[in-house]
Structure 1
C-alpha cells in the first residue's frame, strides 16, 4: 500500500495517457476517464494490472451469463449494462495501472488479449442463446444477426492483433499516424465495444435492441471491409523478412 494521494495518482495517469488518435469516441472520452479513476484506486490499494484484468473479465462474464440465462427485463438490462460497462472500464484500467507502475509485461498483454477474445466470443453467443431461449422473435432468421456479429468481431479482433505484430516485425508504419481527429473518433464510434455495452440498455425491448444491435453489426462489417482493403495494401508494400519466410 502506498501513501500517494489519490489525486496525485490520477494526475500522473493523465500525463501517461496513450495517444488518442484513432480511438473511438466512447473509449476516448468516457472509458479511459473511468478507467483512470479505477486504476488510481487500484494503485493505492496495491493491486497488480493482472488482478485488474481478471476483475474486468469477471465482471464481463457475470453480465454475459445473465444475458444467456435470465429473461429480458428492465432490471436485467440495467444490470447487464452496468456489468459490461464496468468490465470495459477495468479493461482500460489495467493498462493504465501498468504504466503507473512503470510498464507492462508480456504476461499482462497476453492475459488482456485472451480475456478480450473470450469476452467478444461469449457476448454474441449469449445474445443468440437469449433469442433462442426466450422466443423473442418468430422469425428464426434473426438468429443470424448475433452469429454474423460474432464472426465479424472475431475476424476484426484477429486482424487488428495480426496487423500490429506484422508492422512491428517488418518495420511498417504504425497505426493512427494521421493526427488526433475528434471527427474520426465520432465516425468510428459504432465500432467501439463501449457503444455495444450501452445498447444493452434496450435489452428489455427485443425489437429495439435487435435494430440497434443490427445497426452496429452493419457498421462493424463496413469498417472491417475497409480495414481489410487498407491492411492488404499496407502489407503488400512491406518487404518480406527473408530470414523468417516459410513456404
Structure 2
C-alpha cells in the first residue's frame, strides 16, 4: 500500500473542517459528536493511505460484530458496554469514509453504493438482532416483540425515503435544500435527537438491564414512528413541488 503523505495529520484534520456535509436535518449526536470523531478517523486513514472503501469495510466489521453480539450473547452490563463501543466506533468510521473521499478529491459512484448498502443492512439487522435477543432472554409479553419488528420497518422506510429524497432532487436538478455553509439550528438538531442512530447506539449501554432497555427502546421506537409519519407527509409535498418546478405537475 502506498502511504499518502501530501498533508500532515493536523493539516488533513484542518482541511476536513471545510469538507463537511450540510448540517440540515442532522440530529445532535450525529452532528456534534459523530462527524467530529469521523473527521479525526478520516485524517488518520488519509495518513496511512487507506481508501474510503476500506474505511467502509472496517466500519461494517465493527457494526456487524456488535449486531452479532446483540443476537448471540446473553445480556449483561459488560456486554452492553462492548456492544455500544463497537457500534459507536462503527458509526464514527461510517462518517469517516465520506470525509476521506472528499479530502482525496471526491468519492465514486461505487463507493457511495457500497456505503448505502452497508447502512441499509445494518439498519434492519440491528433491530432484528434485538428481536432475537428479546425472544431468547427478555422477560416480556409476546406482544412486545412487535416493537423491534415495527422499528425494523420504520428504520428501513426512513432510510430509504431520505435516500430517495436526495436522489429525486439530483434527478430533477433541484440540488441541495440549503446552500453550502448555511447555518442550521442547533435547537432543531436537539429536537430530532430521538431519530439519531448515534443515540440508538448509546442506548445499548442499558442492554444488560433488559427492563430498562425495553422501556428506552420502546420510547425511541414511538418517537421514530411519530417522526416518520409527519416527515412522510412533508417529503411527499416536497416531491410534488419538484414536479411543479420542472413544469410537469400532475
Gaps of 5+ in 1: none
Question: Closer, same or farther in 2 for the Cα pair 1:150/1:94, shift >3 Å?
Answer: same
Residues in 2 aligned to 1:166 and 1:29: alpha-carbon distance in whole angstroms:
28
**1:42 aligned residue (45, 65, 81):** 45
Paired residues of 1:127 and 1:146 also in contact (CA < 8 A): yes
Q: TM-score, normalised by structure 2?
A: 0.92
How big is the shift at 1:138?
Answer: 4.0
Matched, 1:213 2:217: yes
Tell whether 2:193 aligns with 1:189. Answer: yes
Q: Higher mean Cα deviation, 229-238 or 71-80?
A: 229-238
Q: Distance in 1 between matches of 2:33 and 2:124?
A: 24
2:206 counterpart (202, 205, 230)? 202
How far 1:241 moved relative to its partner? 11
By how many angstroms is 1:235 displaced?
A: 1.8
Task: Give the superposed CA RMSD.
Answer: 1.8
- Using a 3 Å threshold, how does the CA distance of structure 1 residues 98 and 173 change in structure 2: closer, same or farther? closer
Q: CA deviation at 1:40?
A: 0.6
2:120 match: 117
CA contact (8 A) 1:191 1:219 kept: yes
**Which residue of structure 2 lines up, in the alignment, with residue 32 of structure 1?**
35
Q: If the length of structure 1 is used for normalisation, what is the TM-score?
A: 0.93
Match of 1:226 in 2: 230
**Structure 1 residue 121 displacement after superposition:** 1.0
Question: Where in structure 2 are the equivalents of 1:1-247 lying within 5 Å?
Answer: 1-3=3-5, 4-134=7-137, 136-172=138-174, 174-176=176-178, 179-239=183-243
Question: Does the 8 Å contact 1:170/1:240 carry over to 2?
Answer: no
State the shift of 1:186 in Å.
0.4
Give SS of 1:239's match. helix
Are the equivalent residues in 1 in contact too, given 2:134–2:140 (CA < 8 A)?
no
Alignment partners' CA distance in 2, 1:179 and 1:97: 23
Number of aligned residues: 242
8 A Cα contact 2:71 2:132, kept in partner: yes
